Chain A
């Protein structure tokens, strides 16, 4: 390491190697959003999955609640450089939601209430790696953290974990979402520091 900032010692924290490069721990839960917080009444809420041939599957809030829930404990990493370890959630695995969906798609574009979108490979939503989460640390999600439900994909930077999730579009080809069009990375692996396009 050739570059040194004179007089800077920093504060090392013992994270057992669980902190990806360039990240620091926070005890709070910061918020990254592009606009105001959408408010969605539960009786109007709906989750849809659309496949490449236009088939749509939908779940009402009651139907989502009827699906088997998981309670994952995961570390989360935001591209603005904070990480939070051992966060606990309750939600439905995407494996459960997509179980009966027929598709040959390789990519997903996730849509949110409020217009936000984010893209990721479909395989990153499968095999117990992603959830539609509706509780955080034992409580309903706070509105600014995605109430009533958000995507939770903890192995990627947290902007991929779309808040206020409303639909998943399955596609044969990748198509950039909101931050991705603005220069953020299409994949976003925190361990490879894929913050911006080209990283």
Chain B
């Protein structure tokens, strides 16, 4: 096979490893990044996820998947968890889990929803809510002289935007385009001048709040003829809508990769 192998032998990827919390970073009103120290981490590709297992003192366990948010640095791995109200695991990880405490983790998992730096062609990233996490790992892995990347990131309102400052900085980088879509409430005009971070496009037009639509995914250099690989991630309903828009615009289904995080409201 011509493809680069997925890091880590099979038995290594299946093993549960203790992962100790080194650091936590609040990213938005509802999301927190956890920096974990995982013994002998085999490395991973952007887009892959891990399984996280929590064990209570009577042996009861709960397991959930979380995307890797950044390229690995040795044994340091990062995940970003969005609190789901009434959830069993995400509120624990966001609010209770303390620096020095440990969970168990295995992975990396998933060989399809990945971006490989040797892969040709532009990359169109479409995120809904916490679906930005694996897409951020791809943006962070993009070399300074790399293919064009565009991130279209849908959030409910500006307060919910994860990685806000880093995205604003990336948006000013050559070859990277970041667009925000707000579904409920946008920022007041002029409230934040950072490139596009207020929902404005490059020309300073403010997009009115509303669900993702085809115009949000169009633009010179990003049509079907430009053959971008499209990575769509977020809640099920969002992924369905975005993948349908891309497919009806003429993007080849084989180039639309999707990852669904959770149930829809419908």
Q: Which residue of A7, A12, A198 has the most chain B CB atoms within 10 A of its CB atom?
A: A7
Question: What chain B residues lie within 8 Å of A54 (beta carbons)?
Answer: none
The answer to the question of B145 belonging to the interface, with a C-beta cut-off of 8 Å to chain A, is no
Given that A7-B96, A196-B13, A197-B10 are known contacts, is A144 also in contact with B263, CB under 8 Å in the complex?
no
Question: What chain A residues lie within 8 Å of B10 (beta carbons)?
Answer: 183, 196-198
B256 touches A5 (CB 8 A): no
List CB contacts (< 8 Å) of B227-266 with chain A: 236, 239-240, 243-244, 246-247, 253-254, 256-258, 260, 262-264
Bound Cα distance A181, B53 (Å): 25
B62 to chain A, nearest CB (A): 5
Counting contact residues on chain B (CB < 8 A from A), the size range is: 35 or more
Q: Which residue of A lies closest to B9 (CB)?
A: A198
Bound Cα distance A89, B139 (Å): 42
List CB contacts (< 8 Å) of A23-76 with chain B: 24, 26, 28-38
The interface residues of chain A, by DSSP majority, are classed as: loop
Bound Cα distance A119, B107 (Å): 23
The answer to the question of A96 belonging to the interface, with a C-beta cut-off of 8 Å to chain B, is no
A7 touches B97 (CB 8 A): yes
Contact among B62, B101, B262 with A7 in the assembled complex (CB-CB below 8 Å):
B101
Contact among B57, B88, B240 with A11 in the assembled complex (CB-CB below 8 Å):
B88
The answer to the question of B55 belonging to the interface, with a C-beta cut-off of 8 Å to chain A, is yes
List CB contacts (< 8 Å) of B77-109 with chain A: 88, 92, 96-98, 101-104, 109
The interface residues of chain B, by DSSP majority, are classed as: mixed
The answer to the question of A1 belonging to the interface, with a C-beta cut-off of 8 Å to chain B, is yes
List CB contacts (< 8 Å) of A72-125 with chain B: 80-81, 114-115
Contact among A4, A6, A115, A196 with B109 in the assembled complex (CB-CB below 8 Å):
A196
A182 touches B111 (CB 8 A): yes
Question: What chain A residues lie within 8 Å of B59 (beta carbons)?
Answer: 1
Contact among B51, B102, B236 with A144 in the assembled complex (CB-CB below 8 Å):
B236
A163-199 interface bits toward B, Cβ cutoff 8 Å, 1 = contact, 0 = none: 0000000000000000000110000000000001111
Question: What chain A residues lie within 8 Å of B236 (beta carbons)?
Answer: 30-31, 144
